[in-house]
Structure 1
Amino acid sequence: MDFSHRAAGRGVQRRAVPFTGMQLRAADAGATLRFEGYASITESPYEMEDWAGQYTEIVRRGAFTKSLAEGADVPFKINHSGITLARTKSGTMRLAEDSTGLHVDADLDPRSPEVQTLQSAMERRDLDEMSFAFRVVRQTWNTDYTQRDIHEVNLNRGDVSIVNYGANPATSAHLRARDVATALRELRAGQTLTPDAVETLGQVLQLIAAADGAVDVAQPLLASVLDVPNPDADPDPGDGERADGMELFELRRRLLAL
């Protein structure tokens, strides 16, 4: 079975880990609250799942080095949304990669109602995971596509977040029909897409790629079992004809260009 379509993922991705090395303490005579912890642990395998089944994923040491060196603009948030509580661009958050993983050191304003809520939830242990949003730059797969090694990520305009429940690596992101419809309306109208719309359409693209991959696998198998010609084995159409699936190709092209 051909799992090579797994290598095509390009959208924003999220991974979560339980609190590791986490501290939230007063600093500067109570003027700020200082958060420290890890948003990602490197060299630590975890299980993922997609349309083709389960596979192992490992974020390799050094995956964050280039993005951090280039001054990635990364906000600190709660559940990947809402107001920014700290940010690398402003100097209120510092990210670094060490032998453990992606270390977060953020100065939080105790006057902020969101920070006060966060502090209370953490003290009660109602929140106990961190997550980060990123784009994959370099990756490798083993020969049977059962292990994915992430060698380089782009953190710019992603985020690091404290989350209620991290997006389970073994489940796919959920797309709400309303969000997809809104994003497609913006695309059809030629509007400047919002970041949320770009992310939603990126997830749609990944689902299209997954479905396309499933069809590529299923078609020859079904044709063989049913002893009928494989539709993909038909000769290319003439110059004056448009091949089936070209509309899908054009949608992919437009989404990848965003």
Structure 2
Amino acid sequence: MTKIEKRGGTLGVETRAAEEKRTLAGYAAVFDVSADIGGWWIERIAPGAFAEAIGGDVRALVDHDAGRVIGRTKSGTLRLSEDSRGLAVEVDVPDTTDGNDLWTLVERGDISGMSFGFAVKHDEWDETGEMPIRTIHKVELYEVSAVAWPAYDDTELGKRSLQEWRDAHQPEPDTEITDPAAAPVTKAMLTRARLKMDLDLKVRSTR
């Protein structure tokens, strides 16, 4: 089973009422904006990350709850597009308990954020600074949600991805670093990796 990460924030969602339908509109993600993921790393979404994903069968949910569907791309009640800002969302709100409640909560300003559930298909890591930076280039998109709180769940998946990147890029034990300019950066990267692994173990031991 694919494990889904969730990201979001107070990116804004608004109501648009027409004669025949009610539509919620906003952004589930914005490009090139740095988000601090639980103090573990900085995350940015690159333009084009959703280009392939928005053609799939994606649901619109309330608070990432699969039992509270309010729209779907396959039925045309959810419309997704990429523009220069990010992943734009439009949902035709149904005349259901969840739909009516959500409409009222957004109108009142009680719910003002959007989020998305995804699996990473291609990302890159940069550890030359004080905190690792993860740039997401391609995702598989499962759902978008109207949310009361930003969701930064499943950070274990990101930490696992970071460790895999470190394992793939650290120098071989017998490899001598001959570039003086590269040596300090490489040693710093390895030091941070060891410290982070040690912290991971301490965090797990307290759970």
Higher relative contact order (CA 8 A, sep 6+): 2
Q: How big is the shift at 1:19?
A: 3.4
RMSD: 2.9
Q: Tell me: CA distance 1:64–1:112, structure 2 relative to 1, closer, same or farther (3 Å).
A: same
Aligned: 1:119 with 2:103: yes
**Structure label with greater radius of gyration:** 1
Paired residues for 1:156-175 under 5 Å: 158-167=142-151, 169=152, 173=154
**TM-score, scaled relative to structure 1:** 0.57
Q: Gapped runs of 5+ residues in structure 1? A: 1-9, 175-201, 219-258
Q: Identity, % of aligned pairs?
A: 31
> Offset of 1:138 from its aligned partner?
0.4
Summarize the Cα distance change of 1:120–1:146 in structure 2 as closer, same or farther, 3 Å threshold.
same
| Structure 1 partner of 2:41 | 55
Query: Equivalents in 2 of 1:123, 1:217: separation in Å?
Result: 45
Structure holding more helix per residue:
1
Q: Which runs of 5+ in 2 are unaligned?
A: 165-192, 199-207
Does the Cα contact within 8 Å between 2:120 and 2:139 map onto a contact in 1?
Answer: yes
- Number of residue pairs aligned between Structure 1 and Structure 2: 164
Query: Which TM-score applies when normalising by structure 2?
Result: 0.70
- Spell out, residue by residue over 1:129-159, the C-alpha distance to the aligned partner (whole angstroms, 9 max, x if none): 111000000000114471110001111xx11
Contact 2:50 2:82 in 1 (8 A): yes
- CA drift of 1:54 comes to 2.7
**Equivalent-residue separation in structure 2 for 1:215 and 1:48 (angstroms):** 18
What is residue 125 of structure 2 aligned with on the other side? 141
Whose strand proportion is higher, 1 or 2? 2
2:17 maps to 1:19: no
Deviations for 1:93-149, whole angstroms, at most 9, x for unmatched residues? 11001001000012112x212111111111221111111000000000114471110
Alignment of 1:108-257 (within 5 A): 108-109=93-94, 111-144=95-128, 146-155=132-141, 158-167=142-151, 169=152, 173=154, 217-218=197-198
The question of whether the paired residues in 1 share the 8 Å contact of 2:16 and 2:23 is answered with yes
